[in-house]
Amino acid sequence: MKKTAVILAGCGNRDGSETHETLSALLAMDKRGMQYQCFAPQGEFSVYNHIEGKPSGEKRNIIIEASRLCRGDIKPLSAYRAEDFDALVLPGGMGAAQNWSNYAFEGENMEVNAEVAEAVRSTNAAGKPVAAMCIAPMILAKVLGDKHPTITLGNDCQAAEHARKLGCKHRICTAEEAVADKENKIVTTPAYMLATHIAEVFAGADRMVEELVKLMA
Ordered by where they begin, the domains of the chain are 3-216 (3.40.50.880)
168 is catalytic: no
Main-chain phi, psi angles of 210, to 5 degrees:
-60, -45
Tell me what pLDDT residue 59 has: 92
Please list the pLDDT of the chain residue by residue as tens digits (217 residues): 899 999 999 999 999 999 999 999 999 999 999 999 999 999 998 888 998 988 898 999 999 999 999 999 999 999 999 999 999 999 999 999 999 999 999 999 999 999 999 999 999 999 999 999 999 999 999 999 999 999 999 999 999 999 999 999 999 999 999 999 999 999 999 999 999 999 999 999 999 999 999 999 8
8 A C-beta contact, residue 204 and residue 190: yes
Tell me what pLDDT residue 133 has: 98
pTM of the model: 0.96
Tell me what pLDDT residue 62 has: 97
8 A C-beta contact, residue 211 and residue 202: no
Task: List all residues 6 or more positions away from 118 whose beta carbon is below 8 Å from its beta carbon.
Answer: none
The catalytic residue among 11, 38, 70, 134 is 134
